[in-house]
Amino acid sequence: MHNLTIDPDRLWRSIMETAAIGGTPKGGINRLALTDHDRQVRDWLKSACEDLGCTVTVDEVGNMFAVRPGRLDVPPIAVGSHLDTQPTGGKFDGILGVLAGLELLRTLDEAGYETNAPLMLVNWTNEEGSRFSPAMLGSGVHAGVFDRAYADSRTDRQGVTFGEALDEIGYRGPAKVGSTAFGAMFELHIEQGPILEAEEKAIGVVTGVQGMRWYEIALTGREAHTGSTPMSLRRDALVGAARIIGAVEAIARAHPPGVGTVGLVEVGPNSRNVIPGHVFLTVDFRHPDDAALDVMEKALFATVEEAGRASGLEHALRQVWNSPAVAFDPALVDAVRRAADGLGLSWREIVSGAGHDAAYVARIAPTTMVFVPCAGGLSHNEAEATSYEECRAGAQVLLAAVLDHDRRCYGTA
Amino acid sequence: MHNLTIDPDRLWRSIMETAAIGGTPKGGINRLALTDHDRQVRDWLKSACEDLGCTVTVDEVGNMFAVRPGRLDVPPIAVGSHLDTQPTGGKFDGILGVLAGLELLRTLDEAGYETNAPLMLVNWTNEEGSRFSPAMLGSGVHAGVFDRAYADSRTDRQGVTFGEALDEIGYRGPAKVGSTAFGAMFELHIEQGPILEAEEKAIGVVTGVQGMRWYEIALTGREAHTGSTPMSLRRDALVGAARIIGAVEAIARAHPPGVGTVGLVEVGPNSRNVIPGHVFLTVDFRHPDDAALDVMEKALFATVEEAGRASGLEHALRQVWNSPAVAFDPALVDAVRRAADGLGLSWREIVSGAGHDAAYVARIAPTTMVFVPCAGGLSHNEAEATSYEECRAGAQVLLAAVLDHDRRCYGTA
């Protein structure tokens, strides 16, 4: 039995050092996918891995893979997450998973420890989906959920395509998408919810991910003067949008533990004395039960019809993303549970409320996740906070679970 | 009795020629106040007036005044309106009043007709209020409603101040604000509403302007992850905004013939998988009866309180503009009525639903307006349309009313 321990100071330093790339005055990070800040942090990771003698390859959609060879020529055990953030993101979402993976590589390297299977650190492209919808695009292409042409054609709100942005920062690699097969994948991540903190658990043993669906709605009414257009003759697209925003909230509350959010709204022409002629808005529905999502979706479609009728609007509604509920690999889930027990850390089983690259990878390889708490359950927020001790515990559980799995599959190293 | 007639072809040509300055593919104009397009059209007007031998002066807030001398040294009779537009504005709103005024100067010049009082053509700065709130800023400063420092300090959504933008385009003039006193002011304008067209009247004899109030509301909740934040723990600023948008519509419908509009909404961070933490929105209330506006305002304040409570939001609400109902000068209103009758044009009395520079000028000088129809009552829209014949009728009534007033006040020229 090994007694390798990660270096929590080194892990914390790498988190704080990279947090400066796109860092915001409020202590968060604004590092949207495929921006120059994304390029800088990718360059940082590449050189850190190469310093350890790892080979770094990049695939056609920018996913980065750093391999540390093992004793056997078998598919590698993968760890990692993503380094892109929300426009007002925090220092830990995704980043902890990648940098804890780097810390594993450094710990093994320092100890001269040889695993049976190769170890592979992964940085997935455009996980957040904030600049390019849908989310988890890089891992989705890797898992065959999307094809490469679809990814390349995604556009941001300024009309720049994913492919253009990827070429612009020089991270379109030669590796064919999906050519890097995993024997298993472990993703460490902050919970992004309030449960672990509320129950004072150090570790979340993640058994699956809830189902998620995204929608885009475009409403078209008629621009007109706010002063001289009687209420009865108006076709106000924003009034219709307000009905939909209220209904999304009501639909979610009617289907616990489901959640529903309108996060993005664009009004045209957006002038205080012009009746809005155009509104674009997005809807995000999530529920652990796919059948409940079907019901919520039906209610949304009915709401949009009704809002359009009531305000005399044309409307276009489409589902732009559908990620079914996921159950993680029981053997890997056990490995995480054993690791937490072995380290004497408190834990509970949990279903992820957020989407993660692991949800797609689970379609093509045994996969699971490890959660650590974040203050107030706050994420996608510059105030997002996970402590030094919580990061240390998560990284140590990740290391123990990986080595446990490596031994059980391939014999004691 | 004179029988001067304006040249409708020349008027139409000047409308179409200036429409190219900031012209949009859809046939509208995007010529926000104090942009370079505004500078270009101001230069065009200045040289057109100087070609007629008029003296053009500019005051400290950019209002332009072109004077054609009369027989007597008395305060001039003013005509005019504004040349700035909405971001998706039309070819006639404001523009018709200025270019018809220019057509009057050209007609009198061509005929060698000398009026008793001097004639003054005015182009008011920032009437639309779309780039810099509040609307009618130039005429408001002229009438003493706002002081010059207040105007200079107004900022657009990019943080550029009115003063900076005015200096940038080189239209801060030497004339002290208000130093150019009027004996009277006639403003020709499109109705911007559906009434004249519906009743097939050529001319609107405008007896006054309804009261208007503008408000700004800032809602602050908490940004959080859309997937892992239970509905019960959310503070969603957009859900609160949606309640307010719906209530503004309901309040207006409960107080006919009042109108209420939320025209501008900004969501922060505006990402589809982040619960909105911040929303900024504007409210525009109008009613011919100031007492009704008091009631509507009370209802708005109560709604914002309630929406804030319901969604756990902090809120800031302030009235940013209050323009009481206006009654125009009876003698000038009669002059317009006589002009329409004398020309055999159909007309009706009407209260303006939109705000106009004339509403402020009425506080310091005898003032009235002339309306002509616009197709479908559509305005603040690229499809805004007033016909050649309607423009001709409006300009001819303007000329007849001005000369009628000039004769009645100062004896037959």
Phi then psi for residue B313, to 5 deg, are: -110, 145
Helices A95-111 & A8-19 angle (0-180, nearest 10)? 140
Cross-chain CB nearest to B263 (options A192, A230, A272): A272
* A242 neighbourhood in chain B, CB within 8 Å: 241-243, 245-246
The owner of tokens 């809120």 is B315
The CA–CA distances, whole Å, from A387 to A15, A374, B390 equal 11, 8, 72
HSE value, Cβ hemisphere, 13 Å, CA-based, for B342: 19
Nearest to B273 among A249, A263, A271 (CB): A263
Residue A167: which residues within 8 A CB-CB, separation 6 or more?
Answer: none
Out of B261, B269, B272, closest to residue A88 by CB:
B269
CA dihedral B161, B264, A23, A206 (to 10 degrees): 170
A240: helix, coil or strand?
Answer: helix
Dihedral of CA atoms A298, A303, A309, A313 in degrees, nearest 10, equals -100
Contacts of B380 in chain A (CB under 8 A): 223-226, 271, 273-275
Residues of chain A above pLDDT 70, percent = 99
Asked if A130's CB is within 8 angstroms of B379's CB, the reply is no
Using the CB atoms, write b or e for A291-325: b if 16+ within 10 Å: ebbeebbebbeebbeebbeebebebebeeebbbeb
- Averaged pLDDT, A19-31: 96
Average pLDDT per block of 10 residues along chain B, 413 residues long: 87 98 96 98 98 97 98 96 96 98 98 97 96 94 95 95 97 93 96 91 96 97 90 95 98 96 97 95 95 98 97 97 92 97 96 92 96 91 94 98 95 65
Residues of B in contact with A230 (CB under 8 A): 193-194, 257, 259
Establish whether the linkage from the previous residue to B25 is cis, with ω within 30° of 0: no
- Chain A residue with minimal CA distance to B320? A272
pLDDT tens-place string over residues A280-308: 999 999 998 999 999 999 999 999 999 99
**Nearest residue on chain A to B214, alpha-carbon basis:** A272
Considering only the beta carbons, identify the residue of B227, B256, B274 that sits closest to A86. Answer: B274
Fold for domain A211-323? Alpha-Beta Plaits (3.30.70)
DSSP A57-81: EEBTT--EEEEE--SS-SPPEEEEE
Nearest CA among B358, B326, B336 for reference residue B403: B336
**Would strands B224-225 and B274-275 be described as parallel, antiparallel, or unpaired?**
antiparallel
Distance (Å) from the alpha carbon of B388 to chain A's nearest alpha carbon: 22
Model pLDDT, residue A2: 63
Question: In Å, how far from its chain's centre is CA A76?
Answer: 22
Cα B43 to its chain centre, rounded Å, is 21
Q: Which residues on B lie below 8 Å from A133 (Cβ)?
A: 272
> Given B128, B226, B355, which is nearest A284 (Cβ)?
B226
Distance CA B302, CA B284 (A): 16
Domains B8-210+325-410 and B211-323 share a fold: no
Domain boundaries, chain B: 8-210+325-410, 211-323
Residue type present at position B36? D
Mean pLDDT for the stretch of residues A136-157: 96
User: pLDDT (tens digit, 9 = 90+) per residue, A109-118?
Assistant: 999 999 999 9
- Are B86 and A269 in contact (CB < 8 Å)? yes
Q: Shortest CA distance to B180 belongs to which of B221, B139, B209?
A: B139
**Nearest residue to A388 (alpha-carbon basis) of A187, A91, A46, A79:** A91
In contact, B228 and A354? CB cutoff 8 Å: yes
Beta bridge partners of B358: none
Residue range A379-413, pLDDT digits in tens: 888 999 999 999 999 999 999 999 999 999 998 64
Nearest CA distance, B31 vs chain A (angstrom): 14
Would you call A242 and B245 a contact, using CB atoms and an 8 Å cutoff?
yes
- Mean pLDDT confidence for A49-77: 97
- Dist. CA B17–CA B40, nearest whole Å: 12
Answer yes or no: do B252 and A229 touch at CB < 8 A.
Answer: no
Range A28-47 average pLDDT: 98
Is A252 in Cβ contact with B273 (below 8 Å)? no
pLDDT tens digits for range A69-100:
999 999 999 999 999 999 999 999 999 999 99
Residue that the structure tokens 């078998």 belong to: A74
Residues of B in contact with A212 (CB under 8 A): 227
SS3 A372: strand
Chain B residue with the nearest C-alpha to that of A228: B353
Q: From CA B187, how far away is CA B389, in angstroms rounded?
A: 18
Would the CB atoms of B380 and A224 count as touching at under 8 Å?
yes
ipTM value for the complex: 0.75
pLDDT tens per residue, range B145-175: 999 999 999 999 899 999 999 999 999 999 9
Test B230 with A286 for CB contact under 8 angstroms. no
Asked whether the beta carbons of residue B263 and residue A243 sit closer than 8 angstroms, the reply is: no
Q: Is A172 helix (H, G, I), strand (E, B) or coil?
A: coil
Contacts of A250 (CB under 8 A, 6+ apart): none
Count how many pairs of residues, chain A against chain B, have C-beta atoms within 8 Å.
Answer: 241
| Percent of the residues in chain A that have a pLDDT greater than 90, as a whole number | 90
Question: Least CA distance to A90: which residue of chain B?
Answer: B224
SS3 readout for chain B:
CCCCCCCHHHHHHHHHHHHCCCECCCCCECCCCCCHHHHHHHHHHHHHHHHCCCEEEEECCCCEEEEECCCCCCCCEEEEEECCCCCCECCCCCHHHHHHHHHHHHHHHHHCCCCCCCEEEEEECCCCCCCCCCCCHHHHHHCCCCCHHHHHHCECCCCCEHHHHHHHCCCCCCECCCCCCCCEEEEEEECCCCHHHHCCCCEEEEEEECEEEEEEEEEECCCEECCCCCHHHCCCHHHHHHHHHHHHHHHHHCCCCCEEECCCEEEECCCCCEECCEEEEEEEEEECCHHHHHHHHHHHHHHHHHHHHHHCCEEEEEEEEEECCEECCHHHHHHHHHHHHHCCCCEEEEEECCCCHHHHHCCCCCEEEEEECCHHHCCCCCCCCCCHHHHHHHHHHHHHHHHHHHHHHHCCC
Q: Are A226 and A275 in contact (CB under 8 A)?
A: yes
d(CA A388, CA B309): 36
Mutate to test the interface with B, among A217, A243, A274 (most CBs of B within 10 A): A274
pLDDT at B394: 98
Give chain B positions within 8 Å (CB) of A241: 242, 245
CA distance B248 to B303: 9
A8-210+325-410 — its CATH code? Answer: 3.40.630.10
- Write down the pLDDT at residue A412: 65
**String of DSSP letters for A87-106:** TTB-SSTTHHHHHHHHHHHH
User: What are the φ/ψ torsions at residue B278 (nearest 5 degrees)?
Assistant: -140, 135
Residue tagged 């994948």 (tokens): A185
At B353, the amino acid letter reads G
> At residue A68, does pLDDT exceed 70?
yes
